Amino acid sequence: MNYRKKFLVAPGSHVRLHACDPGYTDPPVDKKDASKQIETLHQRMDDLQFRLYAENKRSLLICLQAPDAGGKDGVVRHVLGALNPQGCRVVGFKEPTSEELAHDFLWRIERATPKRGEIAIFNRSQYEDVLIVRVHDLVPKSVWSQRYAQINAFEQRLTANNTHILKFFLHISKEEQLRRFEKRLDDPLRRWKISEADYSEREHWDDYMLAYQDVLSKCSVEHAPWFIIPSDHKWFRNLAISQIIAETMDSLGITVPHATVDLTEIRRKYHHALSAERKDRE
Protein backbone atom coordinates (compact mmCIF):
# COMPACT_ATOMS: atom_id res chain seq x y z
CA MET A 1 0.00 0.00 0.00
CA ASN A 2 1.11 3.54 -0.74
CA TYR A 3 1.08 5.13 2.71
CA ARG A 4 2.02 8.54 1.32
CA LYS A 5 -1.36 8.71 -0.39
CA LYS A 6 -3.27 6.83 2.30
CA PHE A 7 -2.33 9.07 5.23
CA LEU A 8 -1.78 12.40 3.49
CA VAL A 9 -3.96 15.29 4.66
CA ALA A 10 -5.07 16.70 1.33
CA PRO A 11 -4.57 20.48 1.16
CA GLY A 12 -7.85 22.28 1.78
CA SER A 13 -9.52 19.29 3.44
CA HIS A 14 -11.36 19.56 6.75
CA VAL A 15 -9.98 16.98 9.18
CA ARG A 16 -12.19 15.08 11.63
CA LEU A 17 -9.92 12.99 13.84
CA HIS A 18 -12.77 10.88 15.17
CA ALA A 19 -13.11 9.52 11.62
CA CYS A 20 -9.45 8.44 11.57
CA ASP A 21 -8.86 5.08 13.27
CA PRO A 22 -5.72 5.24 15.46
CA GLY A 23 -5.71 1.44 15.63
CA TYR A 24 -5.67 0.94 11.86
CA THR A 25 -3.20 -1.51 10.32
CA ASP A 26 -2.78 -2.68 6.74
CA PRO A 27 -4.53 -6.11 6.81
CA PRO A 28 -2.12 -8.03 4.52
CA VAL A 29 0.83 -6.93 6.68
CA ASP A 30 1.54 -8.33 10.14
CA LYS A 31 4.21 -7.40 12.65
CA LYS A 32 6.71 -9.93 11.26
CA ASP A 33 6.22 -8.75 7.67
CA ALA A 34 6.52 -5.14 8.80
CA SER A 35 9.87 -5.84 10.47
CA LYS A 36 11.31 -7.16 7.20
CA GLN A 37 9.94 -4.24 5.20
CA ILE A 38 11.26 -1.72 7.72
CA GLU A 39 14.76 -3.21 7.46
CA THR A 40 14.69 -2.78 3.68
CA LEU A 41 13.31 0.74 3.97
CA HIS A 42 16.02 1.69 6.44
CA GLN A 43 18.69 0.56 3.99
CA ARG A 44 17.09 2.82 1.36
CA MET A 45 16.96 5.71 3.83
CA ASP A 46 20.62 5.23 4.70
CA ASP A 47 21.62 5.32 1.02
CA LEU A 48 19.42 8.34 0.30
CA GLN A 49 20.78 10.22 3.29
CA PHE A 50 24.32 9.58 2.06
CA ARG A 51 23.34 11.06 -1.30
CA LEU A 52 21.66 14.05 0.35
CA TYR A 53 24.78 14.72 2.41
CA ALA A 54 27.12 14.35 -0.57
CA GLU A 55 24.97 16.46 -2.88
CA ASN A 56 24.84 19.29 -0.30
CA LYS A 57 22.12 21.19 -2.17
CA ARG A 58 18.99 20.58 -0.13
CA SER A 59 17.82 19.52 3.32
CA LEU A 60 14.97 17.63 4.94
CA LEU A 61 12.91 18.72 7.94
CA ILE A 62 10.75 16.13 9.71
CA CYS A 63 8.25 17.39 12.29
CA LEU A 64 6.73 15.02 14.87
CA GLN A 65 3.64 15.97 16.86
CA ALA A 66 1.57 13.75 19.12
CA PRO A 67 -0.26 13.63 22.44
CA ASP A 68 1.81 12.62 25.47
CA ALA A 69 3.03 9.00 25.03
CA GLY A 70 2.13 9.24 21.36
CA GLY A 71 5.46 7.80 20.25
CA LYS A 72 7.65 10.72 19.17
CA ASP A 73 10.69 9.34 21.01
CA GLY A 74 9.94 5.88 19.61
CA VAL A 75 9.95 7.18 16.05
CA VAL A 76 13.25 8.96 16.65
CA ARG A 77 14.77 5.76 18.00
CA HIS A 78 13.27 3.06 15.79
CA VAL A 79 12.79 4.89 12.48
CA LEU A 80 15.20 7.77 12.36
CA GLY A 81 17.85 5.86 14.28
CA ALA A 82 18.64 4.22 10.94
CA LEU A 83 20.16 7.48 9.75
CA ASN A 84 23.82 8.45 10.07
CA PRO A 85 24.16 10.86 13.04
CA GLN A 86 26.81 12.81 11.11
CA GLY A 87 24.14 14.19 8.81
CA CYS A 88 21.14 14.05 11.13
CA ARG A 89 20.07 16.18 14.10
CA VAL A 90 17.20 15.81 16.57
CA VAL A 91 15.80 18.93 18.23
CA GLY A 92 13.32 18.77 21.11
CA PHE A 93 11.19 21.82 21.79
CA LYS A 94 10.09 22.06 25.39
CA GLU A 95 8.78 25.02 27.39
CA PRO A 96 10.38 28.19 25.95
CA THR A 97 13.23 29.78 27.87
CA SER A 98 13.15 33.42 28.93
CA GLU A 99 15.42 34.28 26.00
CA GLU A 100 13.13 32.50 23.55
CA LEU A 101 10.07 34.23 24.98
CA ALA A 102 11.77 37.57 24.37
CA HIS A 103 11.57 36.91 20.61
CA ASP A 104 8.74 36.00 18.26
CA PHE A 105 7.54 32.40 18.52
CA LEU A 106 9.35 31.26 15.36
CA TRP A 107 12.77 32.55 16.46
CA ARG A 108 13.84 29.37 18.22
CA ILE A 109 12.46 27.27 15.37
CA GLU A 110 14.37 29.22 12.72
CA ARG A 111 17.66 28.64 14.54
CA ALA A 112 17.15 24.86 14.49
CA THR A 113 16.25 24.36 10.82
CA PRO A 114 18.55 22.03 8.85
CA LYS A 115 21.46 23.24 6.79
CA ARG A 116 22.13 21.95 3.26
CA GLY A 117 22.86 18.23 3.21
CA GLU A 118 21.29 17.69 6.63
CA ILE A 119 18.17 16.07 8.04
CA ALA A 120 16.62 17.69 11.12
CA ILE A 121 13.94 16.03 13.21
CA PHE A 122 11.76 18.24 15.37
CA ASN A 123 10.39 16.42 18.42
CA ARG A 124 7.51 18.85 18.88
CA SER A 125 7.76 21.89 16.66
CA GLN A 126 6.46 25.32 15.71
CA TYR A 127 2.97 23.89 16.14
CA GLU A 128 3.23 23.93 19.92
CA ASP A 129 2.32 27.62 19.62
CA VAL A 130 -1.11 26.78 18.23
CA LEU A 131 -1.63 23.71 20.44
CA ILE A 132 -0.68 23.99 24.11
CA VAL A 133 -0.75 27.78 23.85
CA ARG A 134 -4.31 27.60 22.57
CA VAL A 135 -5.58 24.91 24.96
CA HIS A 136 -4.23 26.66 28.04
CA ASP A 137 -4.97 30.24 26.94
CA LEU A 138 -1.32 31.26 27.24
CA VAL A 139 -1.86 34.03 24.69
CA PRO A 140 -5.11 35.61 23.44
CA LYS A 141 -6.98 33.99 20.55
CA SER A 142 -6.32 37.15 18.51
CA VAL A 143 -2.61 36.24 18.72
CA TRP A 144 -2.54 32.46 18.22
CA SER A 145 -5.20 32.51 15.50
CA GLN A 146 -2.81 34.47 13.26
CA ARG A 147 -0.04 31.94 13.67
CA TYR A 148 -1.37 29.38 11.18
CA ALA A 149 -0.73 31.82 8.32
CA GLN A 150 2.63 32.80 9.83
CA ILE A 151 3.70 29.15 10.03
CA ASN A 152 2.58 28.50 6.46
CA ALA A 153 4.59 31.49 5.26
CA PHE A 154 7.62 30.34 7.27
CA GLU A 155 7.45 26.85 5.76
CA GLN A 156 6.97 28.28 2.28
CA ARG A 157 10.19 30.25 2.69
CA LEU A 158 12.05 27.14 3.85
CA THR A 159 10.78 25.20 0.85
CA ALA A 160 11.79 27.99 -1.51
CA ASN A 161 15.31 27.58 -0.15
CA ASN A 162 15.38 23.82 -0.83
CA THR A 163 14.30 22.49 2.56
CA HIS A 164 11.78 19.70 2.06
CA ILE A 165 9.27 19.29 4.88
CA LEU A 166 7.38 16.25 6.18
CA LYS A 167 5.02 16.55 9.15
CA PHE A 168 3.69 13.54 11.04
CA PHE A 169 0.83 13.55 13.54
CA LEU A 170 1.06 10.35 15.57
CA HIS A 171 -2.60 9.56 16.18
CA ILE A 172 -3.28 7.46 19.28
CA SER A 173 -6.49 6.78 21.16
CA LYS A 174 -7.13 8.08 24.65
CA GLU A 175 -7.33 4.46 25.85
CA GLU A 176 -3.96 3.58 24.31
CA GLN A 177 -2.39 6.62 25.96
CA LEU A 178 -3.58 5.41 29.37
CA ARG A 179 -2.22 1.89 28.68
CA ARG A 180 1.18 3.39 27.87
CA PHE A 181 1.15 5.47 31.04
CA GLU A 182 0.41 2.30 33.04
CA LYS A 183 3.30 0.46 31.35
CA ARG A 184 5.63 3.30 32.27
CA LEU A 185 4.56 3.01 35.91
CA ASP A 186 5.40 -0.70 35.83
CA ASP A 187 8.76 -0.27 34.08
CA PRO A 188 11.63 0.92 36.34
CA LEU A 189 13.52 2.16 33.28
CA ARG A 190 10.63 4.37 32.13
CA ARG A 191 9.15 5.69 35.37
CA TRP A 192 11.23 8.84 35.08
CA LYS A 193 9.07 9.88 32.10
CA ILE A 194 5.85 9.98 34.16
CA SER A 195 4.59 13.22 35.68
CA GLU A 196 1.33 14.38 37.19
CA ALA A 197 0.91 16.66 34.18
CA ASP A 198 0.61 13.60 31.94
CA TYR A 199 -2.59 12.67 33.73
CA SER A 200 -3.95 16.18 34.30
CA GLU A 201 -3.53 16.99 30.59
CA ARG A 202 -5.93 14.13 29.79
CA GLU A 203 -8.72 16.39 31.07
CA HIS A 204 -8.04 18.56 28.01
CA TRP A 205 -8.04 15.68 25.51
CA ASP A 206 -11.03 16.95 23.51
CA ASP A 207 -9.61 20.49 23.41
CA TYR A 208 -6.30 19.16 22.10
CA MET A 209 -8.03 17.11 19.42
CA LEU A 210 -9.90 20.22 18.23
CA ALA A 211 -6.61 22.13 18.18
CA TYR A 212 -4.91 19.35 16.20
CA GLN A 213 -7.79 19.27 13.74
CA ASP A 214 -7.28 22.97 12.98
CA VAL A 215 -3.51 22.48 12.59
CA LEU A 216 -4.00 19.58 10.20
CA SER A 217 -6.73 21.36 8.22
CA LYS A 218 -5.08 24.78 7.97
CA CYS A 219 -1.42 23.83 7.64
CA SER A 220 -1.28 20.83 5.32
CA VAL A 221 -0.12 22.33 2.06
CA GLU A 222 1.51 20.85 -1.02
CA HIS A 223 5.00 22.02 -0.11
CA ALA A 224 4.72 20.96 3.56
CA PRO A 225 2.15 18.16 3.94
CA TRP A 226 0.77 16.64 7.12
CA PHE A 227 0.32 12.90 7.48
CA ILE A 228 -2.01 11.38 10.08
CA ILE A 229 -0.29 8.16 11.16
CA PRO A 230 -2.35 5.53 13.04
CA SER A 231 -0.09 4.92 16.04
CA ASP A 232 -1.83 2.62 18.52
CA HIS A 233 0.32 -0.16 17.02
CA LYS A 234 3.94 0.94 17.17
CA TRP A 235 5.15 -1.52 14.54
CA PHE A 236 2.67 -0.19 11.99
CA ARG A 237 3.51 3.41 12.85
CA ASN A 238 7.18 2.68 12.21
CA LEU A 239 6.42 0.98 8.90
CA ALA A 240 4.22 3.79 7.59
CA ILE A 241 6.63 6.57 8.52
CA SER A 242 9.67 4.69 7.17
CA GLN A 243 7.93 4.17 3.84
CA ILE A 244 6.81 7.80 3.55
CA ILE A 245 10.29 9.14 4.33
CA ALA A 246 12.03 6.72 1.95
CA GLU A 247 9.62 7.34 -0.93
CA THR A 248 9.67 11.11 -0.43
CA MET A 249 13.46 11.23 -0.47
CA ASP A 250 13.55 8.89 -3.47
CA SER A 251 11.22 11.23 -5.37
CA LEU A 252 13.64 14.15 -4.96
CA GLY A 253 16.07 12.72 -7.50
CA ILE A 254 19.08 13.25 -5.27
CA THR A 255 22.34 12.65 -7.12
CA VAL A 256 25.88 12.14 -5.92
CA PRO A 257 28.08 14.93 -7.31
CA HIS A 258 30.80 14.27 -9.85
CA ALA A 259 34.41 14.12 -8.73
CA THR A 260 36.10 17.52 -8.54
CA VAL A 261 39.53 16.21 -9.50
CA ASP A 262 40.98 14.61 -12.62
CA LEU A 263 40.59 10.91 -11.81
CA THR A 264 42.86 9.84 -14.66
CA GLU A 265 45.60 12.08 -13.32
CA ILE A 266 45.06 10.84 -9.76
CA ARG A 267 45.41 7.24 -10.93
CA ARG A 268 48.50 8.07 -12.96
CA LYS A 269 50.25 9.90 -10.15
CA TYR A 270 49.28 7.82 -7.13
CA HIS A 271 47.53 4.57 -7.86
CA HIS A 272 50.26 3.09 -10.11
CA ALA A 273 52.94 4.22 -7.69
CA LEU A 274 51.13 2.60 -4.76
CA SER A 275 50.69 -0.62 -6.73
CA ALA A 276 54.42 -0.71 -7.45
CA GLU A 277 55.13 -0.07 -3.76
CA ARG A 278 52.97 -3.02 -2.75
CA LYS A 279 54.76 -5.28 -5.22
CA ASP A 280 58.12 -4.21 -3.78
CA ARG A 281 56.94 -5.11 -0.27
CA GLU A 282 55.83 -8.52 -1.48
Which of 53, 170, 43, 50 lies closest to 114, judged by CA?
Answer: 53
Dump pLDDT digits (tens) for 185-202: 998 888 888 888 889 999
Q: How many domains does the chain have?
A: 1
pLDDT score of 113? 98
pLDDT score of 125? 97
Domain range for 220: 3-281
The enclosing domain of 65 has a CATH number of 3.40.50.300
Is the confidence at residue 106, as pLDDT, over 90?
yes
Evaluate if pTM is beyond 0.85: yes
In the structure, what pLDDT confidence band is assigned to residue 112 with cuts at 50, 70 and 90?
A: very high
**Residue that wins the pLDDT comparison between 72 and 82:** 72
**Lowest mean pLDDT segment, chosen from 19-28, 77-86, 104-113, 268-277:** 268-277
**Lowest mean pLDDT segment, chosen from 147-151, 187-191, 277-281:** 277-281
pLDDT score of 278? 65
